[in-house]
Amino acid sequence: MPIAELSSGTVLILIVIAALPIGAVVFALGAGRAFSQIGRGEMSIGDEEPRPATGIGLTDSGMGAQGDGASAEVREEEIRQMVQARSDRAVARGEQGFDVDAEVERLLEPAPGAATGDRELREEVRQLVVARNERRLRQGKEPLGVEAEVERQLRDLEGLGQ
Q: Residue 62's pLDDT is what?
A: 47
Residues 148, 153, 159, 161, CA torsion sign: negative
Over the Cα atoms of the chain, what is R_g?
31
Write out residues in the chain with pLDDT < 70, as ranges. Answer: 1-4, 32, 45-70, 110-117, 159-162
Instruction: Kindly report the pTM of this predicted structure.
Output: 0.34
Instruction: Report yes or no: 102 and 91 within 8 Å, Cβ to Cβ.
Output: no
Q: What's the pLDDT at 134?
A: 93
pLDDT at 156: 82
- Cα(105)–Cα(108) distance, integer angstroms: 5
Residue 93's pLDDT is what? 93
pLDDT of residue 65: 47
